Amino acid sequence: MRIGLIGQPNCGKSTLFNQVAGYKAETGNFSGTTVTYTESSVRLMGNIIDVVDLPGTYSLAGSNPAEREVIKYLTSNEVDAVINVLDASHLSLGLVLTVELLEIEVPMVIALNMMDEADHMGIHIDVNMLENMIGLPVIPMIASKGRGIQPCFIRAFQVGQRNQVPHPPQYGPEVEQVLRILEGDLGGVESYLKPHALAIKLLEGDPVIREDIFRQKPDVTSDLKQLRKALQDQGAQNGEWLINEERSRLADDIAKSVVQQGKRKLTLRDKLDGILLHPIFGYIGLILILYFFFQGVYSLGGWIETPLLVLFERIEAWTLSLIGGDDGLVSEILLGLIQGVSGGMAIVLPYLVPFLLGLGVLEDVGYLPRVAFLMDSLMHKLGLHGKSIVPFILGFGCNVPAIMSTRILEDKRERYISAALSTLVPCAARLSVVFGLVAFYLGPGLALVIYLFNLFVIALTARILSRLVKDTSPGLILEMPVYRIPTVRTVINKAWWRIREFIVEAWPLLIVGSVILAIFKHYNVAIYLNTLVHPLSWLLGLPKQVGVPLIFGVLRKELSLVMLGQALGSMNFPEVLSPVQMITYTVFVIFYIPCLATMIVIRKELGAKAMWHIVGMTILIATLAALIARGFAEIFF
């Protein structure tokens, strides 16, 4: 038995899923798309059932890939029952999706979630009447407190077992008549939808369905035109929106009959938004929230990292002493192995864990859409939308969670550009290079200049990329959800699933990469590597030996500083590098190729092609930026 959870964004569907899902829940993609769902096995009355959390959609109209995948999935035989999660505090808007779900005739129950919030807003809902009007079991629920969850799943289980299909919704008589005629025309058409639902989608003008049917039965075209015209003559305003309006009329009618609106209290949203979205205080608030976010994340990270480094140093020393301190191939490989393991650990524990937990909290509180609201106008000047600011901000800690956070963006273009740009943001590891080289030897003022130069390059790249990849989205249309206190379970689960992906997919590659580089080192490939990079180091006026630290820096960015000292034979850099060279090297390191872990995550999120694009782009930008920096530095030094 498999039960699908469906609902509009912000209806508390994920909270419900997290209440029942275990740590083993799996995130998957619908084949051939980037649309993701999460699935988990749940024990219910001695049975094991699969629960699938489908992406939140406002409708099933197929206006974006997520909606099309959801409707295909629901009508396939893979789902035995559907739980439609409804936000009781916004019933009439949510019911539009319910009505649409009734059309496709799958066994279904309603989880009337957020009863507490509705109560707080003075909304009283007659549950029995709602059940009668839509002909489905309705179970009141407060998912965040775990109330009503078990009865809901039991009903869904029963409905699924009996394959109890609801009646399709009844629209106006003229519409129903047209639908019957269309249904007659559609005999023998192959589709994942039943004829009645197919007729509705056809009348609605769903482009994919229409094309599919016209290919199978070309004569339906003229019929559809005539029927639409007839409806318009009868006074229906616009064929295209006809079904849409019928649904929302029906939803409004139901909501009006079952909802009793008492005195509405001022909600937390009204009060908080007055400050957090204020033209002045809003931005101060944004800066403060981000400050505390980074402060919290870094102190948590530092607290974890320090003992971790000590531990791995000990393990390394112990391993070396165990094999007798010889520097043969075996010990090199062993050290490479340990470094790979510790490298992955150094990303996961101090960065991924705190950043993803923090991101989860900001997400679930409902603050991220507010950031989009505040930053939309600024980001528009770069050719982007407000929400794209989030990956940037996270990028300053570590690029890996930054790339992961592009998932909050719906638009593919936006995800691609944001991912590309966030790889240019200097993460904490690259910060160590800026500090260790420029700030330490040439002064903090110059480090600040490099930072500002970095922001300038990012802004410029954003403008260029947003011109190259054309924006097809019309602009911001975004719901500002009610502020909610996130449940610990949801935040931890979400962070854990993302971290697990990294551990399973990126970590092994990091370890393999480490070992390969160790073998390189043993066979003294350095000389070849330096020659390989020589055209570049020559162009930038850097010593030939920077080839090795630059190549190893791809594995972990800190290495481009540590190994620079080894390569040049001195950690006292002014002895071996001129100030111009230090600046040029640092600027190049800030921009060139994202680290291996980031590359792997880009491939996972956006595909191999996007990964190679970004690698190429960053090499180009790094070279140009380093040349510019070199030119300026030569004037001043």
Partner 1 sequence: MQLINVPKGQSVRIISYRGGRGVGFKLRQLGLSPGKEIKILRYAPLEGPIMVEIGGRAVALGRGIAAHVQVEDV
What is the amino acid identity at position 456? F
Minimum CB separation from partner 1 for residue 61, in Å?
6
Minimum CB separation from partner 1 for residue 162, in Å?
32
Q: Which of 173, 307, 474, 535 binds partner 1 (CB under 8 A)?
A: 474
User: Which residues inside 250-309 make contact with partner 1, applying CB under 8 A?
Assistant: 269, 273, 277, 279
Q: How many residues bind partner 1 (CB under 8 A)?
A: 35
Q: Which of 93, 290, 337, 509 binds partner 1 (CB under 8 A)?
A: 93
Strands 81-87 and 36-44, how do they pair? Answer: unpaired
- Cβ within 8 Å of residue 632, ≥6 positions away: none
Q: Which of 369, 383, 426, 436 binds partner 1 (CB under 8 A)?
A: 369
Cα–Cα dist 106/211, whole Å: 24
Choose between 237 and 572: whose C-beta lies nearer to partner 1.
Answer: 237
Q: What is the DSSP letter of 142?
A: B
- Residue 376 is a binding residue for partner 1 (CB under 8 A): yes
Cα–Cα dist 129/330, whole Å: 75
- Residue 411 is a binding residue for partner 1 (CB under 8 A): no
Q: Which of 26, 240, 327, 505 binds partner 1 (CB under 8 A)?
A: 240
Minimum CB separation from partner 1 for residue 4, in Å?
20
- Residue 98 is a binding residue for partner 1 (CB under 8 A): no
Q: Which of 34, 36, 41, 92 binds partner 1 (CB under 8 A)?
A: 92
Q: What is the DSSP letter of 327?
A: -
- Residue 365 is a binding residue for partner 1 (CB under 8 A): no
- Residue 96 is a binding residue for partner 1 (CB under 8 A): yes
Minimum CB separation from partner 1 for residue 93, in Å?
5
Contact 203/239 with Cβ under 8 angstroms?
yes
- Residue 241 is a binding residue for partner 1 (CB under 8 A): yes
Minimum CB separation from partner 1 for residue 274, in Å?
8
Structural tokens at position 631: 């030119």
Torsion of CA 196, 202, 208, 213, to 10 degrees: 80
Residue whose C-alpha is closest to residue 54's, from 72, 109, 135: 72
- Residue 562 is a binding residue for partner 1 (CB under 8 A): no
Q: Which of 479, 532, 631, 637 binds partner 1 (CB under 8 A)?
A: 479
Tokens 């005999």 map to which residue?
187
- Residue 228 is a binding residue for partner 1 (CB under 8 A): no
- Residue 244 is a binding residue for partner 1 (CB under 8 A): yes
- Cβ within 8 Å of residue 197, ≥6 positions away: 75, 103, 104, 105, 168
- Residue 477 is a binding residue for partner 1 (CB under 8 A): yes
Strands 47-53 and 123-125, how do they pair? Answer: unpaired
Cα–Cα dist 383/411, whole Å: 14
- Cβ within 8 Å of residue 541, ≥6 positions away: 580, 581, 584, 630
Residue whose C-alpha is closest to residue 109's, from 154, 75, 56: 154
- Residue 507 is a binding residue for partner 1 (CB under 8 A): no
Structural tokens at position 338: 């340990």
What string of DSSP letters covers 23-85? TT-EEEE-TTSS-EEEEEEEEETTEEEEEEEPPP-S-SS-SSHHHHHHHHHHHSTT-SEEEEE
Minimum CB separation from partner 1 for residue 279, in Å?
4
Minimum CB separation from partner 1 for residue 410, in Å?
10
Choose between 6 and 583: whose C-beta lies nearer to partner 1.
Answer: 6
Beta bridge partners of 142: 147
Q: Which range of residues in 89-97, 326-334, 428-436, 533-541 is near partner 1 by CB under 8 A?
A: 89-97
Strands 2-7 and 47-53, how do they pair? Answer: parallel
Choose between 80 and 246: whose C-beta lies nearer to partner 1.
Answer: 246
Choose between 89 and 530: whose C-beta lies nearer to partner 1.
Answer: 89
Structural tokens at position 20: 């029942």
Minimum CB separation from partner 1 for residue 529, in Å?
49
Q: Which range of residues in 299-307, 398-406, 470-478, 571-579 is near partner 1 by CB under 8 A?
A: 470-478
Choose between 59 and 493: whose C-beta lies nearer to partner 1.
Answer: 59
Q: Which of 220, 372, 394, 425 binds partner 1 (CB under 8 A)?
A: 372
Q: What is the DSSP letter of 443?
A: -
Long-range contacts of 440-446 (CB under 8 A, 24+ apart): 441/573, 441/574, 441/579, 441/582, 442/579, 442/582, 442/583, 446/583
Alpha-carbon radius of gyration of the chain: 29
Q: Which of 344, 360, 386, 391 binds partner 1 (CB under 8 A)?
A: 386
- Residue 373 is a binding residue for partner 1 (CB under 8 A): yes
- Residue 112 is a binding residue for partner 1 (CB under 8 A): no
- Residue 171 is a binding residue for partner 1 (CB under 8 A): no
Choose between 187 and 474: whose C-beta lies nearer to partner 1.
Answer: 474
Q: Which range of residues in 184-192, 244-252, 446-454, 564-572 is near partner 1 by CB under 8 A?
A: 244-252
- Residue 459 is a binding residue for partner 1 (CB under 8 A): no
Minimum CB separation from partner 1 for residue 481, in Å?
8
Choose between 241 and 292: whose C-beta lies nearer to partner 1.
Answer: 241
Residues listed for the chain: 637
Contact 605/415 with Cβ under 8 angstroms?
yes
Choose between 412 and 522: whose C-beta lies nearer to partner 1.
Answer: 412
Strands 36-44 and 47-53, how do they pair? Answer: antiparallel
Other CB atoms within a 10 A radius of the CB of residue 276 amount to 21
Binding flags for partner 1, 47-86, as an x/- string (CB under 8 A): -----------xx-x-x-----------------------
Choose between 372 and 555: whose C-beta lies nearer to partner 1.
Answer: 372
- Residue 623 is a binding residue for partner 1 (CB under 8 A): no
Phi/psi at 40 (5° precision): -150, 150
H helical segments located in 121-238: 127-134, 149-161, 173-185, 195-204, 207-216, 220-233
Can you give the binding site for partner 1, defined by CB under 8 A? 58-59, 61, 63, 89-90, 92-93, 96, 121, 240-241, 244-245, 248, 269, 273, 277, 279, 369, 372-374, 376-378, 380, 386, 474-480
